[in-house]
Structures are given as structure tokens and as C-alpha cells.
Amino acid sequence: MDKIFVVAGKIGTLEFNQAKNEIVSQLRKQRRLTTHLSKAAKILVLGGDGTMLKAIRQYGVNEIPFCGLNFGHIGFLMNEYIFNTIKQITDNKLNYISVPLLEAKLFDRHDKRIGLTYAFNDIYLERSSTNTAKISISVGKEVYFDPLISDGVIVASAAGSTGYTASAGGVIVPIETNSLIVTGICPALFHRWKSSQLAPDSRVILAAKELDKRPVRMVADGDEIPNAVKAEIYYSDKKVCLAFLASQDFRRKVLDLQFHNRV
């Protein structure tokens, strides 16, 4: 019998707490609930997309499928919580999608390598003061902006193309494309350019300029990375598996977002 490990967000509403308690109670009665990740066949995430991203950053290296139930807003990465949701999950009436993570080599202001990070949705540089940022953008050895004057630059995965980059005016693409999406946040110059869709094997380099006058911060899936002002971003060999209820049309959700008619 498959065991399920539960991760719950900090939503705090009465409705959410009641639903969470009911779900946990059902799984416990069925003897499917486990508090040991090593024994789990699925990770059930209760909350919104932010909760899912945090769960992936914390537990994604275990290669256990994540199945989300939406108690947030759009919940692109989540399933709708309906009357028989838990039964569908325990009966394994699910479709699985394997998604590569973004990987980034990180550098400090002296161009010294300081680490490596991973993200499911996006990695971006953004201004951290009232001054606009100056960020160079290269794809491979080709420099396209040196610099782009803007509030920041986002590099998103195909899965993350419905998130922050979409809010900034970036293109939305199906997960299966494995494209990289590069989007400028409120560009002050080159405003005819907004977003580009790149091939899966692309490597994007973002590097902040004039840091004393124009400080920036680097963020990966909502987590700030101290001292990082330059990143080489590409798809990793590491993957995360997402599970969607067979009764819910995940691909239709993406299509609706692409046409902006059901957001």
C-alpha cells in the first residue's frame, strides 16, 4: 500500500484547517499516512503554488512525485480539491509529468564562483533600491544586452512560464517544450523587447553592472541568494515529477492561460 507524506502551507483560514484535518484523518484511517519521507510513494502538498515551490526546494532531490491540492489562488501547479480527490489519489488515478529543474552557477561581485542553486519556476535578478538595475544578458557566447536597464530580468522554465514571468509580460509555453523564457521586468530601454523563448539547451548569463549605485538581489523560486550578482542558468539533469488528477485537464489549464481567457 502506497504511503503518502503530507506538506501543508501556512494559510491559517478555518476552511483550510478543516480540509487539512479531514485529509490527514482520511489518510490515517486508510493507514496511508507517513511522517517518514523515505517510506513515501507520493508527497501531497496542501496550499498554493508557493507552498508547492517550497516543498520542491526542500524535498525535490528525493525524486518522489508531488501531488498538490489547491487552497491558494490560480494554483497552476495544483489540483482542485473536490469531493473524491483523495480517493483518486489513493487509487492512483493520476497523470505524471516529469519536469527538469533550472540549474544556475552563481558568482559574486568579484566574479568568484560562490555556489550552485536549483529552481522549478524561475531565477531572476532584480533591483534592490530605488535605482533601476543594469543587467547584461548573454545566451551562450552571444551578448544581447549590455546592459538592459530595467527593474530586473527573469529566466523561467517552461513550467514556470505561467508564474512571475507571465505577470511581467513574458510568453507562456506548454511544459513539454522545455523552453527557457527570458523576460525583462519593466525595461526602461529596448522597450520593444519584452520576452524571448529559447531552445532547451540554451545557457543564459545574467550579470549585474554598477553595483555600488544599482544594487540587486538574486532570487530562486522566491528564496533570495546572498551575494550572488551573476548567474549562468540552464536546464539541469535533475527532474521533478508532478502528479495531476486524471479527472482534471492540466493541458487545458495551460492553453487557457496562453489565451488569457480563464485566468
In this prediction, residue 88 carries a pLDDT of: 92
pTM passes above 0.75 = yes
Mean pLDDT across the stretch 187-196? 82
Q: Are 248 and 221 in contact (CB under 8 A)?
A: no
pLDDT digits (tens, 9 = 90+) for 37-95: 999 999 999 999 999 999 999 998 778 999 999 998 778 899 999 878 999 999 999 99
CA distance 240 to 102: 11
Active site includes 122? no
pLDDT band at 254 (very low <50, low <70, confident <90, very high): confident
- Per-residue cell: 223: 528564496
pLDDT exceeds cutoff 80 at 252: no
Q: Are 19 and 81 in contact (CB under 8 A)?
A: yes
pLDDT exceeds cutoff 70 at 263: no
State which CATH number among 2.60.200.30, 3.40.190.10, 3.30.1120.130, 3.90.1150.30 fits the domain covering 102-236.
Answer: 2.60.200.30
pLDDT band at 157 (very low <50, low <70, confident <90, very high): very high
pLDDT band at 262 (very low <50, low <70, confident <90, very high): very low
Tell me: cis bond preceding 100? Omega within 30 of 0 counts.
no
pLDDT digits (tens, 9 = 90+) for 115-149: 999 999 999 999 999 999 999 999 999 999 999 99
- Map out the domains of the chain as residue ranges: 4-92, 102-236
The set of residues, in sequence order, having a beta carbon less than 8 Å from that of 91 and lying 6+ positions away, is none
In this prediction, residue 148 carries a pLDDT of: 95
Q: Are 78 and 159 in contact (CB under 8 A)?
A: no
Rounded to a whole number, what is the largest CA-CA distance in the chain? 60
Residue labelled with grid coordinates 483560514: 13
Catalytic residue among 49, 111, 212, 256: 49
Residue labelled with grid coordinates 551562450: 140
Q: Are 240 and 66 in contact (CB under 8 A)?
A: yes
Mean pLDDT across the stretch 241-247? 91
Higher pLDDT, 81 or 251: 81
- β-strands 204-209, 230-245 pairing: antiparallel
Domain 4-92 fold is Rossmann fold (3.40.50)
